[in-house]
């Protein structure tokens, strides 16, 4: 245990030292994180995601809850449109932590180019409980949509990747990927033209509703608190400490140097007991 900790510390130091001389990169927007200023936390986050039994338990817990919520919401639904559920893909049902680890080992940052190379490999893994949940969802007859910020050019490889993992086959027309903006509001509205969305699953609050997109006020805590009854009933959240919209409230300014970003990261930690 001690030896592993030392290795982690040394590795963190090496990565951060290299970052001192690196040019500033695009910082945080969804998966567009992994900048040098945050490499140290990035290592621990990726380790937790890949190595902790708590991570697996958290996913099982969330999918178990999702089954209950889906069953309840279907039984209570009386609308005229057919019911549907909307799932995010990355870090919701697909594990891309290998890509994140590759960025760390190569002292690299996220880019569309390397991300596309990763998705072309069709190597993302199924997250714990995801396949079973999708099989259950299909058995209920509910319509299933994958609303993802993967690009349109990645639909074919993603479809193939998901098929290899043993997920039930969802029609490729229900893969609603990103063409322009990262916001999913418009794409959820497209689904709502013909369906009633009764459950949403994602690792990013932006996967659920537009109200969560603004993190400038109180890191978005108020929006969460004001909708607390929806979590576990209509919204199922999965843990992702590696990247996400939550970073935006910390970094704010994309023009900061890596060193300045690191300072802001540290300032994001609340060490004062109020």
How far is the C-alpha of 253 from the C-alpha of 250, rounded, in Å?
9
H helix runs in 20-96, sequence order: 39-51, 53-76
**Pick 16 or 208: Cβ nearer Mg ion:** 208
**Pick 124 or 137: Cβ nearer Mg ion:** 124
Instruction: Give the shortest CB-221-to-Mg ion separation in angstroms.
Output: 20
Using alpha carbons, select from 244, 249, 251 the residue that is nearest to residue 218. Answer: 249
How far is the C-alpha of 63 from the C-alpha of 69, rounded, in Å?
10
How far is the C-alpha of 239 from the C-alpha of 258, rounded, in Å?
26
Binding interface with Mg ion (CB under 5 A): 88, 90-91, 203
**Pick 95 or 203: Cβ nearer Mg ion:** 203
* In contact, 261 and 27? CB cutoff 8 Å: yes
Instruction: Give the shortest CB-214-to-Mg ion separation in angstroms.
Output: 19
Q: Is residue 18 classed as helix, strand or coil in its secondary structure?
A: helix
- The residue count of the chain comes to 274
**Pick 32 or 90: Cβ nearer Mg ion:** 90
**Pick 19 or 199: Cβ nearer Mg ion:** 199
Strands in the chain per DSSP E: 83-87, 94-95, 125-126, 143-151, 175-178, 196-202, 235-237
Using alpha carbons, select from 89, 86, 88, 147 the residue that is nearest to residue 119. Answer: 89
**Pick 32 or 88: Cβ nearer Mg ion:** 88
């Amino acid at each position: 245990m001690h030896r592993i900790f030392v290795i982690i510390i040394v590795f963190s130091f090496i990565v951060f030292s290299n970052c001192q001389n690196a040019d500033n990169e695009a910082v945080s927007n969804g998966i567009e994180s992994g900048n040098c200023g945050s490499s140290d936390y990035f290592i621990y986050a990726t380790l937790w995601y890949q190595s902790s039994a708590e991570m697996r338990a958290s996913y099982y817990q969330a999918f178990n809850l999702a089954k209950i919520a889906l069953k309840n919401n279907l039984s209570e639904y009386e609308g005229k449109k057919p019911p549907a559920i909307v799932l995010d893909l990355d870090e919701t049902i697909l594990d891309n932590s290998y890509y994140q680890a590759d960025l760390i080992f190569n002292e690299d940052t996220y880019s569309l180019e390397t991300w596309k190379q990763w998705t072309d490999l069709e190597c993302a893994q199924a997250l714990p409980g995801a396949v079973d949940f999708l099989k259950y969802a299909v058995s209920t007859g509910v319509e299933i949509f994958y609303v993802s910020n993967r690009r349109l050019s990645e639909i074919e490889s993603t479809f193939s990747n998901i098929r290899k993992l043993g997920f039930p086959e969802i029609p490729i027309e229900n893969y609603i990927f990103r063409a322009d903006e990262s916001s999913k509001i418009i794409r959820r509205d497209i689904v709502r033209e013909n369906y009633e969305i009764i459950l949403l699953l994602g690792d990013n609050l932006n996967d659920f509703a537009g109200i969560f997109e603004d993190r400038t006020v109180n890191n978005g805590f108020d929006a969460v608190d004001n909708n607390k009854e929806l979590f576990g009933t209509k919204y199922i959240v999965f843990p992702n400490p590696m990247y996400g919209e939550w970073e935006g409230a910390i970094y704010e300014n994309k023009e900061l140097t890596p060193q300045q970003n690191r300072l802001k990261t540290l300032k994001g930690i609340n060490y004062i007991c109020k």
